[in-house]
């Protein structure tokens, strides 16, 4: 699994618990190997938690869709060490 796939295709399903068993294993393996994605997922979860604690809604949590291309590129640059 690539960083881009993790973020764009599987993050929402992972967060809401709807990933298949095989995809969940792939997702967790990628997280075990990729510090940048672990940080991203942790940050994403904190953002959701803080927004809910503040009494606000979290737009798109139910269906995140795709992450902005700029965000994906920034994560990939960090992963590559650029």
CA dist 73 and 23 (Å) reads 23
pLDDT at position 67 is: 61
Alpha carbon distances (Å) from 11 to 36, 47, 55, 81, 82? 14, 14, 23, 23, 24
CA dist 25 and 37 (Å) reads 15
Q: Could you tell me the pTM of the whole model?
A: 0.60
Q: What is the pLDDT of residues 22-78, one digit of tens each?
A: 999 999 999 999 999 999 999 888 887 777 777 655 555 544 455 666 776 777 777
């Amino acid at each position: 699994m690539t960083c881009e796939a993790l973020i764009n295709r599987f993050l929402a399903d992972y967060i809401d618990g709807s990933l298949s068993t095989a995809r969940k294993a792939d997702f967790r393996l990628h997280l075990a190997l990729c510090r940048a994605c672990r940080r991203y997922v942790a940050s994403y979860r904190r953002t959701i938690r803080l927004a809910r604690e503040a009494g606000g809604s979290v737009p798109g949590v139910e269906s995140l869709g795709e992450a902005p291309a700029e965000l994906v590129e920034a994560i990939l640059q960090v992963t590559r060490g650029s």
